[in-house]
Copies of this chain bind each other. A is one copy, B any other.
Amino acid sequence: MGDHDIETDLRERIARSAFHSWVGMELVAAEPGRVEIGLDAAEHHLNLQGTLHGGMIATLADTATGLAVRSMVPAGSRHVTVQLDVHYLSPGRAGHVTAVGTTVRVGATIAYAEADVTDERGRLLARATATVAVTADRG
């Protein structure tokens, strides 16, 4: 698939997903090995200390790394995240948040990807790493 097709494919996946609509995530950009996700963090995404909940940051990182791997594997294959490690570096606030997922290595059965989550001023809120299993579709 070309870059345009990849972005179209991922955009359709997210549009079909009740989860992504409910959370409020949108696909900002996609090319092979790099996917950018956006979220307008609102009050209900914050914890009691008024900062972006760690689970939301993990959700963004999981989505960005998973789709980055998705953008690098054949259309018929499946990807399943087996491990996600998130390092929280600065507290996030309400406002626009971006997660950029990039693949570092995509092997035949295992992929490794990373994500940076930043706020609208470009401050790094979290850095995440993910191990993703890739399998040929059994369908």
Contact = CB atoms under 8 A, between A and B. Distances in A.
A133 interface: yes
A59 interface: yes
Max count, chain B CB within 10 A of own CB: residue among A59, A83, A110: A83
B49 A59 contact: no
Interface residues of A, number: 50
B59 A55 contact: yes
Contact of A112 (B43, B55, B81, B87): B87
Interface of A: 13, 16-19, 21-23, 43-49, 53-56, 58-60, 62-63, 66, 78, 80-91, 104-105, 109-110, 112, 114, 124, 127, 129, 131, 133, 135
